[in-house]
Amino acid sequence: MQMLGFISFSPTYRAMQNKETKNKRDKLDKFRKERFDVVISSAQSALKATFLVNGGGAIALLSFFGSKLQSGNSNPVAPYLAAALLILVIGTALAGLATGLSFLAQYGYFTQERRSRLAKMAPKLTRINILLVFLSYVCFIAAGFVAYRGFL
């Protein structure tokens, strides 16, 4: 038995403290994992939304563009619609790139070797991923503005 001042720490007491510490660590690890799962789910939803927004916009614009070009006349709106379509395609490509980087970042976070290059780059990849998703939404807004300008 070890004496510290007037308090003695028996082996039973130390074992009980170690068990409590382990339980607290386990609860904290479980909480972190659940929180990380929520973050991953939110990221997946954001990536799906960027594909849906830009891809849906491109399809709608293509169908509208096709009906305008079938009239056979030289339409002054056509260059604006073509530019808006290109911007939507760029936005969709940015969403695809963000999806790939998201996979690499998640793999970097879960790799067992903390000193690996990918594990060190994971936070940077996440920031780049967020920027790409933001730029994808900017492309959608810009395409809408360009298409709107064509009708003025």
Q: Is residue 79 part of a domain?
A: yes
Q: Is residue 16 part of a domain?
A: no
Q: What is the predicted pLDDT for the residue at 75? A: 75
> Is residue 133 pLDDT above 80, yes or no?
yes
Q: Is residue 38 part of a domain?
A: no
Question: Among 46-50, 58-62, 68-72, 105-109, whose mean pLDDT is lowest?
Answer: 68-72
Q: Is residue 57 part of a domain?
A: yes
Tell me the torsion sign for CA atoms 79, 85, 88, 93. Answer: negative
Closest CA to 109 of 120, 98, 100: 120
Beta strand spans in the chain (E): 2-4, 7-9
Question: Tens digit of pLDDT for each residue in 73-92?
Answer: 667 888 888 899 999 999 99
Q: Is residue 121 part of a domain?
A: yes
> Is residue 137 pLDDT above 90, yes or no?
yes
Q: What single-letter DSSP state applies at residue 132? A: H
Query: Which residue range(s) make up the domain with 124?
Result: 43-150
Closest CA to 105 of 81, 131, 127: 127
Q: Is residue 35 part of a domain?
A: no
Q: Is residue 137 part of a domain?
A: yes
Q: Is residue 4 part of a domain?
A: no
User: What is the number of domains present in the chain?
Assistant: 1
Q: What is the predicted pLDDT for the residue at 15? A: 66
| Phi, psi values for residue 116, rounded to 5° | -70, 155
CA end-to-end distance (rounded Å), the chain:
88
